[in-house]
Amino acid sequence: MRKTIIVLLLLTSRAWAQQPDLSQYVNPLIGTQKMGHTYPGATVPFGSVQLSPDTDTIAMFTNGKYNPDMYKYCAGYNYDDKTIVGFSHTHFSGTGHSDLGDFLIMPTTGALQLNPGTKDHPENGFRSVFSHSTEVAKPDYYKVRLEDDNILAELTTTTRVGFHKYTFPKSDSAHIILDLMHGIYNYDDKNTWTFLRIENDTLVTGYRQTAGWARTRTVYFALSFSKPFTSYGNKNFKNPQYSGFWRRFNQSRNFPEIAGEQIRAYFDFKTNEGEAIMLKFALSPVSTANALENLRTETPGWNFEEVYQKGKAQWNSELSKIAITTKDPNEKINFYTAMYHAFISPTVYMDVNGSYKGLDQNVHQADGFTNYTTFSLWDTYRALHPLFTIVQPKRNNDMIRSMLAHYDQSAEGMLPIWSHYANENWCMSGYHSVAVIADAIIKGDTGINARKALDACVQTAHKGFYDGLDYYMKLGYVPEDKKGGTSVSTTLEFAFDDWCIAQLAKKLGDEKVYEEFNKRSQNWRNVYDNSIGFMRPRLSDGSFRKNFDVLSTNNQGFIEGNAWNFSLFVPQDPKGLIQSMGGNRRFVPHLDSLFTMHLPDHFFEETEDITREGIIGGYVHGNEPSHHVAYLYNYTDQPWKTQERIRMILKKQYGATPDGLGGNDDCGQMSAWYIFSSIGFYPVTPGSGEYQLGSPAVDKAVIQLENGKSFTIEARNQSDKNVYVQKVVLNGVELNRLYITQQDILKGGTLQFFMGSKPNKKRLPNS
């Protein structure tokens, strides 16, 4: 026995020591410029805390008018900026709408300034000039010199705790500012309440309640300082008309219990030259007591380096789930940064003791699973969750359990749409939880009560009040005159989700549900206008809308897309779509045109979320609806065009620079597309268990599966020129199909691509 244990220990420590440092290839700055909307700060995989610098505080509204510049600050940080306002604890990664930015911390010296100043005049406030030359961003580590006061800032995290280290110059008047007013997508009324308690001279607790994108959200915290502060205070920037608080003592200096809507607090220190003051800042969705428990459990000591090394090890463990071999150094950076961005969201949403605040605002206990939040499902059902079924199945199952808990707590009796921190944000369209659930259950053993999951899907798909679903159920499509704006894309998305429900019902042998939803999955046909060969807005009287522009994204019936892109969204039946659109003879040139056409200027003016760089011809990679489109050639008689397009998109749309993402990363969906496509396949149809083969951009990729097996992809002879697949061999047998299945992967084995510089026109899809 003893011997075995020693051997195991040796193996474990050896495995640890031998784990390659893949984190070195990750550059968190990728996507922080232009449209990526990622943040450069510190976080652990799927961490609750995302501790990152915020570079501006643009109000969402100025004098009641929407400020479109806000959009650059979805993740708080814009690479073009020259100043840092401070370091806040929560950030979305890559979203196209935003919230968060809770609890900004900023160290300063000298005269106390309690306003942030402006980007043009940082000297008028507590913000500081910084330079990218002093900036280091690595997984779970961020460092920068705050030049105004010559303070070195370093950040790392655990799942629930932000760990700050500020190295000061000598100062009789050093301050740590805690700004409860700061927020992302901030506006006057966003804070509904904030609360602050000075428990003792090193411990502060409190919370912030906001009505932002998440309508009713409270985050609790516990903040511990490595050194006692000598004094403290606060300023309440919005005195209530009447507080009932008899002002017979000074509440703004050394008074330990503060509450109000708009508060900034500060803590004073004396520092020696080079003295570091550290902060541990724990979050909880439940209470300050839980925040304190999180703090004490996850960060018992004050060793910054140890916390960082643990975070780095967590990242290396996750990143090593796919080990790639490539001759291109940028490929490693792009690939592992994509892996990094794919493993940030959804985020853990429960305390170390398992409790979390549910959608019903009650405290719930996550019984036997880890509860997650931040479900950007309109994006992530496409490739991120399918990727998780391969490399994160345990987490993916817990995410589904979290969705089912949401369903149980939902007043509407629905699965999440875009859910976040005990709130349903009702953002985007469709009910894509069902795609994630069906995909996972169809692919294998999830341990989830599948019957309950199917019921939840069916209930969700029957809620007539939701986004025209009543009309859809009655007419077979969402009529533009009744539910205008995005009636076509909504119809297409409902139809795909319905197909997923049908597949799940089929697996469970529920014929009645299967038939109902299989029928509904055909509804895409009802918005296809054969006379023009595009999907088109249809009115409740059955006619198609007269005025219609197939190029425009402005009020033409589609969300984040035009008819050219979105008409191709029938992932449940690409062959049926091709047939409707005139068969290969007409469809292939049509698809070719998409990638080569010239878009008019108005397209860019009216289209959110993407830059000109995010577009190839008329193909929009910067938004998600086209993510499967390049793979559609696989269903035609010219599948090699998928191979060349994929390689082109990988090259053009992803770069190892801050502006390297042509569109929002969208909680990892853009990155998941990259990961799949660069290793040679993609889940065109979640819920099918199949992955369409493309053209691998790496020489080799080894996927470590949770079942202990591994699946290896080899791309023999691949290069920038050799992008065409000559043949594919699975476990020594040549593959006579253009896809592999989840079972092929889970069994383990080797998939060999033999590459060449010219298409092998004999490789065709089966019937």
Taking CB under 8 A as the binding criterion, the range among 59-67, 263-271, 275-283, 696-704 that sits at the site for a copy of itself is 59-67
Enumerate long-range contacts of 460-467, CB under 8 Å, 24 or more apart: 460/407, 460/413, 460/414, 460/415, 460/431, 460/433, 460/434, 461/431, 461/434, 461/494, 461/497, 461/498, 461/501, 461/517, 461/520, 463/412, 463/413, 463/414, 465/412, 466/412, 466/414, 466/431, 467/429
**Binding of residue 237 to a copy of itself (CB under 8 A):** no
CB closer to a copy of itself, 193 vs 604: 193
DSSP string spanning 450-466?
HHHHHHHHHHHTT-TTS
Residues across the chain = 767
Among 143, 215, 525, 716, binds a copy of itself (CB under 8 A): 215
E-only strand ranges, 482-598? 528-529, 534-535
531 forms bridges with which residues in the sheet?
Answer: none
> Smallest distance, Å, CB 6 to a copy of itself?
44
- In angstroms, how far is the first alpha carbon of the chain from the final one? 58
- # binding residues, a copy of itself (CB under 8 A): 60
CB–CB of 86/104 below 8 Å? yes
Taking CB under 8 A as the binding criterion, the range among 79-87, 111-119, 192-200, 303-311 that sits at the site for a copy of itself is 192-200
**Binding of residue 248 to a copy of itself (CB under 8 A):** yes
Going by C-beta distance under 8 Å and a sequence separation of 6 or more, which residues neighbour residue 615? 599, 621, 622, 662
> Smallest distance, Å, CB 195 to a copy of itself?
6
**Binding of residue 330 to a copy of itself (CB under 8 A):** no
CB closer to a copy of itself, 13 vs 254: 254
> Smallest distance, Å, CB 425 to a copy of itself?
6
Give CA–CA dist 28/49, Å, rounded.
15
Strand duo 128-129 + 619-620: pairing: unpaired
Cis, peptide link before residue 122, omega less than 30° from 0: no
In angstroms, the Cα distances linking 472 to 526, 545, 687 are: 10, 17, 22
> Smallest distance, Å, CB 74 to a copy of itself?
13
CB closer to a copy of itself, 216 vs 638: 216
> Smallest distance, Å, CB 412 to a copy of itself?
6
Among 88, 425, 688, 752, binds a copy of itself (CB under 8 A): 425
Tell me the CB-side half-sphere exposure of residue 636, using CA atoms within 13 A.
Answer: 26
Residues 353-412 touching a copy of itself, rule: CB under 8 A, are 360-363, 411-412
**Binding of residue 287 to a copy of itself (CB under 8 A):** yes
Question: Which residue, among 614, 719, 635, has the nearest Cα to 682 in the 3D structure?
Answer: 635
In angstroms, the Cα distances linking 452 to 140, 370, 401, 413, 428 are: 38, 19, 11, 13, 25
Among 4, 250, 766, 767, binds a copy of itself (CB under 8 A): 250
Give CA–CA dist 670/382, Å, rounded.
10
Among 82, 197, 227, 716, binds a copy of itself (CB under 8 A): 197
Q: Which residue has the tokens 């004396």?
A: 270
**Binding of residue 193 to a copy of itself (CB under 8 A):** yes
Among 132, 255, 637, 758, binds a copy of itself (CB under 8 A): 255
Question: Which residue, among 205, 257, 210, 213, has the nearest Cα to 236 in the 3D structure?
Answer: 257
Give CA–CA dist 189/176, Å, rounded.
26
> Smallest distance, Å, CB 205 to a copy of itself?
8
CB closer to a copy of itself, 69 vs 511: 69
Largest CA distance in the chain: 88
**Binding of residue 245 to a copy of itself (CB under 8 A):** yes
> Smallest distance, Å, CB 61 to a copy of itself?
6
> Smallest distance, Å, CB 216 to a copy of itself?
5
CB closer to a copy of itself, 256 vs 589: 256
Taking CB under 8 A as the binding criterion, the range among 31-39, 250-258, 265-273, 491-499 that sits at the site for a copy of itself is 250-258
Over the window 288 to 327, marking each residue x when it contacts a copy of itself by CB under 8 A and - when it does not, the resulting string is: xx--------------------------------------
Positions that interact with a copy of itself (CB under 8 A):
60-61, 64, 97, 99, 185, 187-190, 192-193, 195, 197-199, 205, 207, 209, 211-216, 240-246, 248-250, 254-257, 259-261, 287-289, 360-363, 411-412, 424-427, 465-468, 483
